[in-house]
Amino acid sequence: MERIAVIGLGNISIRHRRNLKQLYPMASIYGMSASGRPSTELISDCDVLVTSMEELIRHKVELAIVASPASLHAAHAIPLLTAGIPVLIEKPVATSVADCNAIIDASREHNVPVAVGYCLRYLPSAAILKKILDEQKIGHLHNVMIETGQYLPDWRPSKDYRTSVSARAELGGGVLLELSHEFDYIQWLLGPLKLEHAVLRSSETLGLSVEDTADVLAINASGVIASIHLDFLQRKAHRKCRFIGSEGTLEWDLIQNQVTLISASGAHVIYSDVEWDKNKMYLAMISDFVRLIHGEASLSVNLKDATRTVALIEKIKEFPLIR
């Protein structure tokens, strides 16, 4: 790789540019703001700053990461795909199924690889958990409970959270899209979910126009009930998932990168690596996408899976927002 682009200048783009420099130290990294406007600030790990998609395409970049607000993903990804440039799109792939389908059409028409950045699948504990579930080590699965929350003002302490992408509906804000990782990994583990019920709330605590809390009840084809709680309110970050089976229970702590098996004889930690560097997820995701580009075996999240996540979120958003 000699020329790689990252679209967007937010926090996640900073990580991607830094990681690209680590993976491909001799490559030129091209940056572009989501709006295309020139930046007056120094952009880290950026060799060339461009101001338009046309300029970016003229530079013949070999790979592009779209890390702009989700509502702009289709507008940024489709011209790149049309130019034959492989694209890794940050999650969620888009804010509507219509935009997802437009990206799918462009990828198919021009036969260009695309993947979506659901990096939690690259946690070592995720692979171990999936293997245990696939092997039915806890017997017949009955229920899954997901709880994820983190206080939104703590996400980016240097910025007013009310002006962030997470708080703005037009940019893809709200817990459903911002924490869509949970809808991705649970359908990766259980298969497609059918929505049964949802409660969406916007509390006085944060004063947002988007949902800051979501409680979702869904079911898969085997009758497994999944209850999913997401919020922007918990003062201490929390990200756990619990699988209840006929022969035991699995607890997955994503923050601690730990899997625990609970049976009649007690609790046994199957895997734990608290010190594991979380940035390795992002490095693995990029390397895996490059393997996909080269036609090699890859675990990259495809557009079909990513669109299924957006479709589920669209259905959830049909429920009224309680204020």
pLDDT tens digit string along 243-270? 999 999 999 999 999 999 999 899 999 9
What phi and psi values does residue 313 have, to the nearest 5 degrees?
-65, -40
What single-letter DSSP state applies at residue 211? -
Domain ranges of the chain: 3-112, 120-275+301-322
User: What homologous superfamily does CATH list for 3-112?
Assistant: NAD(P)-binding Rossmann-like Domain (3.40.50.720)
Q: Which stretches of the chain are DSSP H helices?
A: 11-23, 53-58, 73-82, 97-110, 124-134, 175-178, 181-190, 279-293, 303-316
Q: Does the pLDDT of residue 162 top 90, yes or no? A: no
Tell me which of 76 and 159 has the higher pLDDT: 76
Q: What is the pLDDT of residue 183?
A: 98
Q: What is the pLDDT of residue 267?
A: 96
Q: What is the pLDDT of residue 111?
A: 97
170 pLDDT band, cuts 50/70/90, is: confident
Chain segment 188-246, per-residue pLDDT in tens: 999 999 999 999 999 999 999 999 999 999 999 999 999 999 999 999 999 999 999 99
Chain segment 178-188, per-residue pLDDT in tens: 999 999 999 99
- Residue 123 CA to residue 32 CA, distance in Å, equals 29
What single-letter DSSP state applies at residue 50? -
Strand partners, 112: none
Tell me which of 59 and 156 has the higher pLDDT: 59
Q: Which CATH number fits domain 120-275+301-322: 3.40.50.300, 3.40.605.10, 3.40.50.2300, 3.30.360.10?
A: 3.30.360.10
The answer to whether the beta carbons of residues 200 and 317 sit under 8 Å apart is: yes
- Residue 112 CA to residue 228 CA, distance in Å, equals 34
Instruction: Provide the pairing of β-strand 249-253 with 258-263.
Output: antiparallel
- Residue 2 CA to residue 168 CA, distance in Å, equals 36
pTM summary value: 0.95
